[in-house]
Structure 1
Amino acid sequence: MSSNPFEIAPILEGIRRWVVIESPTERPDQVNKLADVVAAGYRDLPASVERVAGRDGCGDHLVIRSSWGQEGVPGILVLSHLDTVHPMGFIERLPFKIERDSAFGPGIYDMKGGAYLAYQAFRQICADDVRPPLGITHLYVSDEEIGSPTSRSLIEAAGRQAKYVLVTEPARKGGKVVTGRKGVARFNVFIRGAPAHAGTRPEDGRSAIRELGHVIQTLEAMNDLPRGITVNVGVVRGGTRPNVIAELAYAQVDMRVPTMSHADELLPKILGISSRTEGVRVKVSGELNRPPYEKTSAGAALYAHAKKLAAELGYELLDTFSGGGSDANFTAPYTATLDGLGLEGKGAHTHYEQIYISSIEPRTRLLYRLYQTLR
């Protein structure tokens, strides 16, 4: 270990090693290559490494458990993801580089930087003479960027066994942590009408596209920004040729809601949308794939503790609510959860994604102090 375990240069070099291994969700071979490197980092530490084989086109998940912590006593769960949204080869466009206070690279902000900080803080805890009161489990998943379809059950089971959940998603502007997120629902709309020649026999047709227009208007009318509800028809397809009345049409829909009561109100409405036109069938399928992350009293107490630790480290830790979902949504309903503990930066999912180097030391120290003091 360095004489200063929070020294920036070696931590940044560790982040670089993870960033240069591109790991798009849809390339399990690449995600697993990164998982090999991550797992190797724990080999000399008092921890066990369990590798959960990937399935359904996704990479493996890693479950790291500290050797301390009493059997059956809830401990700390740290959630991170190894997958990124950037396609293979994007590192040619966005190579790892340092400019002033920024370090750039695919997935460096969302969230390889934050995941590495949690590992670094764990290394230092292992080097200390005194073990912290609670055991630590670090779960690295391979599919968060597509909604965690193969890791959700693992996250939920680990979350129910934990007393606290710390999530290394990137910090928000000004270093804010996240204490609430909207729930996310996804829907598919399938419409079947009847084809006909648009010029000679239009009366024989039943346009699926026209019906889709009605459905879109119904969905758009559900937007309620003052209540934080958004419904977005993001993908539409339909028809074959301009002179044929469309038999088929299709849409993909995203809904975000801040509370479960909003979800309970809107889900049946969307799933219950029916055709306005005789001879046209409308079928809507979908579900809430991430429940809302609402601030509970336990979650508020965890944030208050982190805020106090940050003040001792010399800075103010503010919190915020996010419209995006994360794996925190799966644990927050039943376990004290704090999200956004990763690095400060900007440009998640873009061609200029970056972290702020000046945030490395304070954010690593905060994670380390959380490991040390939560009980």
Structure 2
Amino acid sequence: MKCGILLISDETAGGRTSKGLIGDLSNKSKYVIGLQGAGLSGQATTSFSGVMKYNVEIKYAPGKLSKTKGEQTDLISFLTQKINALRKMTTKDEDVSVAITSINTQGLDEATPDFANLNFRIRFRSPDLSQQLKDQIYKTFEVSATSPIKVNISRTLLRLPLMESEATASFYEQVSKVAKNLEIRLQKEHGTSSTSLCHVSPDKPVLGNLGPISGGMGTRNEYVVRDSLLDRSILLAYLIYLSANDLKE
């Protein structure tokens, strides 16, 4: 039984350099497991949200007056209006989630800023939403030709979502039975945070968050539940052992 372990260092950068390698290796693999930390419910992730980032540059050109009724002609008011519109795009079921990552404004002395730079990320659950969200963003920041405000938008698609496949659903059921026999807590969930597992071939069985129970990732309060280290290690070892026989005990 061959078992490969891949460590990557560009997870937060969208897997720009590792995604090709992940795709190639997953094509050669029977099963793919991600060892990110699990939540307190002991989840195993069977699908993952995609993510795209936007950079919006907004410039105010003095001396030009808008002829469009109701259109904002003040940069700060315009920016505030658009940020509120972005926040409203987040859905309660987390199919879509918008996070503002940075806001910068520039102006001379005490004058009203005439330049702003806005960065935000959008997580989305279905690949079908990619173009729809793109169109919505461009429409949100659309201005008339006569407006004193000019907008430039750049978009980077970091990862497309990975939907739960039949192979993954079947894989989870098998892993769930093993976990139950070992009396290890396991719960199926959707991964709202995009990961490099999104680059795995869609037809391959894949499970994420099979690492130890943890929380506070990326903060000063990051922690690992020590008791879960043993439980999850036993589950992983047993899965590796059983995978040689297609998880048949």
TM-score (norm 1): 0.57
Stretch moving more, 135-144 or 324-333 = 324-333
Q: Which of these residues, 129, 143, 148, is aligned with residue 275 of structure 1?
A: 143
Paired position in structure 2 for 1:138: 5
Tell whether the 8 Å contact from 2:167 to 2:203 is kept in structure 1 after alignment. Answer: no
Letter in 1 for 2:29: A
Tell whether the 8 Å contact from 1:191 to 1:281 is kept in structure 2 after alignment. Answer: yes
Tell me the alpha carbon deviations over residues 78-108 of structure 1, each in whole angstroms, 9 at most, x when there is no partner: xxxxxxxxxxxxxxxxxxxxxxxxxxxxxxx
Shift of 1:170: 0.4
Q: Which of these residues, 135, 138, 163, is aligned with residue 294 of structure 1?
A: 163
Stretch moving more, 336-345 or 355-364 = 355-364
Paired position in structure 2 for 1:157: 24
Q: Is 1:179 paired with 2:46?
A: yes
Letter in 2 for 1:257: F
1:314/1:213 Cα in 2 relative to 1: closer, same or farther (>3 Å)?
closer
Structure 2 segments unaligned to the other structure (5+ residues): 64-72
Q: Which runs of 4+ in 1 moved over 4 A?
A: none
Tell whether the 8 Å contact from 1:195 to 1:207 is kept in structure 2 after alignment. Answer: no
Tell me the alpha carbon deviations over residues 332-365 of structure 1, each in whole angstroms, 9 at most, x when there is no partner: 6342110011001332222232222211222112
Q: Is 1:260 paired with 2:131?
A: no
Paired position in structure 2 for 1:147: 14
Tell whether the 8 Å contact from 1:194 to 1:245 is kept in structure 2 after alignment. Answer: no
Paired position in structure 2 for 1:284: 153
Tell whether the 8 Å contact from 2:59 to 2:151 is kept in structure 1 after alignment. Answer: yes
Tell me which protein shows more helix as a share of its residues: 1
Shift of 1:309: 1.3
Shift of 1:298: 0.8
Tell whether the 8 Å contact from 1:347 to 1:354 is kept in structure 2 after alignment. Answer: yes
Q: What is the CA–CA distance in structure 2 between the aligned matches of 1:160 and 1:251, rounded to whole Å?
A: 38
TM-score (norm 2): 0.83
Q: What is the CA–CA distance in structure 2 between the aligned matches of 1:316 and 1:236, rounded to whole Å?
A: 42
Matches within 5 A, 1:89-108: none
Q: Cα RMSD between the aligned structures?
A: 2.2
Shift of 1:195: 4.8
Secondary structure at the aligned position of 1:163 is classed as coil
Q: What is the CA–CA distance in structure 2 between the aligned matches of 1:160 and 1:195, rounded to whole Å?
A: 56
Paired position in structure 2 for 1:360: 229
Tell whether the 8 Å contact from 1:178 to 1:319 is kept in structure 2 after alignment. Answer: yes
Structure of higher RCO (CA pairs closer than 8 Å, 6+ residues apart): 2
Q: Is 1:238 paired with 2:238?
A: no
Tell me the alpha carbon deviations over residues 31-59 of structure 1, each in whole angstroms, 9 at most, x when there is no partner: xxxxxxxxxxxxxxxxxxxxxxxxxxxxx
Stretch moving more, 223-232 or 289-298 = 223-232
Paired position in structure 1 for 2:242: 373
Structure 1 segments unaligned to the other structure (5+ residues): 1-131, 197-205
Matches within 5 A, 1:70-149: 132=1, 135-149=2-16
Paired position in structure 2 for 1:341: 210
Letter in 1 for 2:115: L
Shift of 1:279: 3.2
